Amino acid sequence: MKLDEIGKELSKLANFEVEVYIKRGELIFAAKEYFSSATEWLSWSKNYLGTGKASHYKYVTLYKCFNNGTFGKEMKILSTQVLYSLSKDEILRNKARVALNAGVKVDDFWVKNNQS
């Protein structure tokens, strides 16, 4: 396999990973209505995903942030950690979109240097 092919395959996987991450958030959020407390909801989520409270809320946060069509195609190449950081700040998220469209690498370092 050539390096270019490896890079393309990794990009496909990154897109898939982000879509799955957001879909998990959507499903976890949809399940919330079936529980009378956050504790029950978290416990149910842990049984199905095997993750703790922090991961549970990261899924939901990313879903809430990026489910309304503002999730640009260019954002799917970012790691879920970077996306989670961007989900907390709409201005930073928009700066990241502009930077990505200009060919700038957006990573944890970029996020730290561009936060207000």
Q: What is the pLDDT of residues 66-109, one digit of tens each?
A: 776 655 666 767 777 888 888 888 889 889 888 888 888 888 89
Helix 90-101 vs helix 80-87: angle between axes, to the nearest 10 degrees? 130
Rounded mean pLDDT of the chain? Answer: 84
Contact 57, 34 (CB under 8 A): no
Is this model's pTM higher than 0.75 or not? no
Nearest partner of 86 among 53, 58, 51, judged by Cα: 58
